[in-house]
Amino acid sequence: MKFGFPLFPESASTLAPQVDAIYFFGLGVAAFFSTLIACLIFYLAIRYRRRSEDEVGKREKAAMWLEIAWSIIPLGILLFMFAWGAKVYFEARRPPGDAVEYFVTGKQWMWKFQHPEGQREINHLHVPVGQPIQLKMTSEDVIHSFFVPAFRIKMDVLPGRYTTVWFEATKTGTFRLFCAEYCGAEHSRMGGSITVMEPRDYEQWLARADSATGPLALAGAQLFEAKTCGTCHRPDSNLLAPILHGLFGEEVTLASGDKVLVDENYLRESILDPKATVVSGYEAKAVMPTFVGQLSEEELVELISYIKSLGDAASHGETPEESAG
Ligand SMILES: [Cu+2]
């Protein structure tokens, strides 16, 4: 809380002071010019008032320097605000390279979390302090929005695709989480909390929390066999189906000729709607069945984590330098 007055949420992430600074600057500029204009209206109304019944006002012409000044100064202020806002926006949108990935599934009316080590939580997420954390989010039903005021982050959570938001908590404590998109009867109760812990406490918490599935990539590897993906996508199955090793982060050419970057959304679509993303060269043998309805959001996340973990440069026939980054 700023100034001990509950107008402002607590500031608990690296982003929060930056967003607040922009907000206060904008507020300051607006307050300054509103006051200036209001005062000038009074002053000029009095200064140029009609002094007698038959007075006809004479035409005033502003000096050139004044015309230029009141064009250039606002332009400069606005461009400054634009550049500043863009800088913070890009920082807020691009997770740092060392961000650890967590998965979030919104659902009427709860939040489900998956830790990279496989622990699952509902409505309450535990994270370590001072560590950039990236959330890959999707919804099982309607549009939700992930809003943590203390971190100054808010991002829509959409069915059928992943959106990303990241934060780095700067203090330990428990901070409220809200759904900020009207999503049905119990929308207002679709909330929770994020508990930020010292790294050591977090490790202890992780060890205590049960992880039924183990690390996501490991759970994905088991699913990969259970769902028969492995029968077609064997490491030596190049003729039957594309090899998935070293695929993530690469560009693939589709049968349509489009080039697409392999990210979570691409993998998701490849699994749920293979016909929409047929890989070039497989036009005639695009035999992959759709897995719509056979995989939960959590299972999809596990499969995707597994495919990501196959980023094995050697088996993909490229140098490690190329695949690093
Ligand atoms: Cu919601």
Q: How many Å lie between the centroid of ligand 1 and the Cα of residue 111?
A: 8
Q: What is the pLDDT of residue 237?
A: 67
Q: What is the pLDDT of residue 219?
A: 86
51-76 pLDDT per residue, tens: 888 888 788 788 899 999 989 999 99
Q: How many Å lie between the centroid of ligand 1 and the Cα of residue 183?
A: 5
Q: Residues 94-117: what's their mean pLDDT?
A: 92
| Residues contacting 67, CB < 8 A, separation 6+ | none
Q: How many Å lie between the centroid of ligand 1 and the Cα of residue 156?
A: 10
Q: How many Å lie between the centroid of ligand 1 and the Cα of residue 191?
A: 8
Q: What is the pLDDT of residue 312?
A: 56
Q: How many Å lie between the centroid of ligand 1 and the Cα of residue 74?
A: 40
Query: Average pLDDT over the chain, rounded to whole?
Result: 87
121-157 pLDDT per residue, tens: 899 999 999 999 999 999 999 999 999 999 999 999 9
Q: How many Å lie between the centroid of ligand 1 and the Cα of residue 166?
A: 19
Q: What is the pLDDT of residue 206?
A: 87
Q: Which residue has the higher pLDDT, 236 or 180?
A: 180
pLDDT exceeds 50 at position 316: no
What radius of gyration do the chain's Cα atoms show? 27
Distances (CA, A) of 204 to 60, 103, 170, 216, 272: 76, 21, 20, 19, 37
Q: How many Å lie between the centroid of ligand 1 and the Cα of residue 124?
A: 15
Distances (CA, A) of 111 to 61, 135, 144, 303: 63, 12, 10, 20
Q: How many Å lie between the centroid of ligand 1 and the Cα of residue 149?
A: 16
279-308 pLDDT per residue, tens: 888 887 778 888 888 888 888 988 999 998
Q: How many Å lie between the centroid of ligand 1 and the Cα of residue 184?
A: 7
